[in-house]
Amino acid sequence: MKQLLIFLFSIPLIGFGQSSSLVDNAKQFLQDKKYHHAEKTLEAYLDETPNDMEAIELLGDAYGQQKKWDDAIDEYERLVEMKPNVANYHYKYGGALGMKALSVSKLRAVAFIGDIKSAFLKAADLDPSHIDTRWALVELYMQLPGIIGGSKSKSLKYAEELETLSKVDGYLAKGYIYEYDNEPELAEEFYKKAIKTGGSLTCFDKLTNLYESQKQPDKAITNIENAQTKHKRNALHYQIGKVAAEYNVQLSKGEQCLQLYIKNYSAADGVPKAWAHYRLAQIQKHKGNKSEALNYIDLAITALPKIEVFQQEKTDILKL
């Protein structure tokens, strides 16, 4: 549930009408990822205006971004009590509880399950079109053991509701369910449907990750190439090189893609060039080219000397 619920705190920071300059400042702090500043600004404002629901929600978001789950829970619970018929308040409350549960021992986490489920179910009941809540329920029912309420059939029920609201979300949810339940053929079928219907990078990534988890690197590379044809993203060159290097397949293609990645690199690509040099070192090691492999791994280490896998890779190359 961790990957999904972190999006709780990534809502667009839009205005709700006329608000104080302090609240506007806090919104800007959140947009700039200055979460501590937003927290302090909102706390001071709420000392004077304790019932401003917009400020309470933003404060909960600021706490959540800092993983202060207890504080975030308190703020969202206030919103639920003040206005119990708003689906998003229940969703955020359940999400913060879920993140808290992930931060404690499994034994302690059990105590949160009932409240998490109740909050999400309430949000789903209040808003039949709330997509994020249905995603949360899909994940929750799949990840919970059956003895404490887990249920594949219930998870599929909410995937069906998602499909009614958004075919792409429904297909991705079903792909997730079948992948989680170790039915890769069905997962592949639904991820392919999501790609055909929506075709976003997320859709392609889900299928790529499935192929990698099933040790099918050639299929993964083909899927990434299809994504590159559609989206023209330099970062996908790195992904092809990564798969080639990790699985020792299609090495020439992997090397070519990594060189393209380095040549066209910008900060927007996300993965530092040092990692591309690391992958090139792996490819040269697979080819038995010790000196070239050392050149590349030294470039990686020079750029990021504290990355342990780079140091280990150099040790392995020196053994050739």
Could you report the per-residue pLDDT of 170-220, keeping only the tens digit for each? 999 999 999 999 999 999 999 999 999 999 999 999 999 999 999 999 999
Angle at CA of residue 135, ends 183 and 133, nearest 5°? 160
From the list 124, 95, 94, the residue with the least C-alpha distance to 5 is 95
What domains lie within the chain, and their CATH numbers? 1-11+19-127 (1.25.40.10)
Q: 99-115 as b/e, with b when 16 or more CB fall inside 10 Å? A: bbbeeeeeeebeebbeb
Q: What is the mean pLDDT of residues 268-280?
A: 97
pLDDT at 147: 60
| Whether residue 3 has pLDDT greater than 60 | no
| Whether residue 6 has pLDDT greater than 70 | no
Could you report the per-residue pLDDT of 36-46, keeping only the tens digit for each? 999 999 999 99
| Whether residue 17 has pLDDT greater than 50 | no
Identify the band that residue 145 occupies on the pLDDT scale cut at 50, 70 and 90. Answer: confident
**Distance, CA of 245 to CA of 300 (rounded, Å):** 15
**Distance, CA of 172 to CA of 154 (rounded, Å):** 16
User: Which phi-psi region, left, alpha or beta, contains residue 54 (left: φ > 0; alpha: ψ -120 to 50)?
Assistant: alpha
**Distance, CA of 57 to CA of 93 (rounded, Å):** 10
Identify the band that residue 8 occupies on the pLDDT scale cut at 50, 70 and 90. Answer: low
From the list 273, 318, 260, the residue with the least C-alpha distance to 300 is 273
**Most confidently modeled range among 14-18, 20-24, 60-64:** 60-64
**Distance, CA of 289 to CA of 219 (rounded, Å):** 27
All residues at 6 or more sequence positions from 1 whose CB lies less than 8 Å from its CB, including other chains: 98, 102, 136, 139, 140, 143
Q: What is the mean pLDDT of residues 119-145?
A: 94
Q: What is the mean pLDDT of residues 22-29?
A: 90
| Cα-based distances in Å from 166 to 27, 124, 126, 134 | 30, 15, 18, 11
* pTM greater than the 0.75 cutoff: yes
Indicate the length of the chain as a whole number: 320
Could you report the per-residue pLDDT of 211-234, keeping only the tens digit for each? 999 999 999 999 999 999 999 999
All residues at 6 or more sequence positions from 35 whose CB lies less than 8 Å from its CB, including other chains: 29, 62, 65, 66
Query: In whole numbers, what is the pLDDT of the chain averaged over residues?
Result: 92
Q: What is the largest CA-CA distance in the chain?
A: 69
**Distance, CA of 27 to CA of 187 (rounded, Å):** 39
Q: What is the mean pLDDT of residues 296-320?
A: 97
| Whether residue 7 has pLDDT greater than 90 | no
**Distance, CA of 29 to CA of 53 (rounded, Å):** 18
Q: What is the mean pLDDT of residues 52-78?
A: 96
- 111, two tokens: 């105590």
Rg (CA), the chain: 23
CB atoms within 10 A of CB 320: 12
Q: Hunting for tokens 């229940």 — which residue is that? A: 90
